[in-house]
Amino acid sequence: MKMTVYGSGCAKCQQLTSNAEAAAKRLGLEYEVEKVTDVNAIIEAGVMRTPALAVDDEILVEGKVPRSDELQQLLG
């Protein structure tokens, strides 16, 4: 699966990345992480609020940083 984190690279973006990776590892999923920081690419993806997380190009989280257990439920 491909997880894409949209945002400026701020602390919240980094936390979202860490939480998503932890959730995927607990589920035993194979994944790759892409970080998108380009404002135009973020807008083209349809993201209105960052940080955001998309899995296989479907936006799951926008404008917040869920805990890893919350993300685990979304990914599972």
Host domain of residue 32: 2-75
Q: Tell me, what CATH number does 7's domain have?
A: 3.40.30.10
Supply 67's token pair.
């805990």
Split into its structural domains, the chain has a count of 1
Candidate list 5, 6, 7, 13, residue with the active-site label: 13
Residue-level pLDDT at 54: 98
- pLDDT-based confidence at residue 65 (cuts at 50, 70, 90): very high
Nearest to 23 by CA among 62, 72, 73, 76: 72
**Active site annotation includes 51:** no
Residue 76 pLDDT greater than 90, yes or no = no
Candidate list 1, 2, 8, 10, residue with the active-site label: 10
- Tell me the whole-structure pTM to 2 decimals: 0.94
Q: What H or E segment, with its residue span, contains residue 23?
A: helix 11-27
Give the whole-angstrom CA distance, residue 27 versus residue 29: 5
Mean pLDDT of 43-59: 97
Q: Are 1 and 30 in contact (CB under 8 A)?
A: yes
Tens-place pLDDT, residues 2-36: 999 999 999 999 999 999 999 999 999 999 999 99
Residue-level pLDDT at 26: 97
**Active site annotation includes 13:** yes
Provide φ and ψ at 59, rounded to 5°: -75, 120
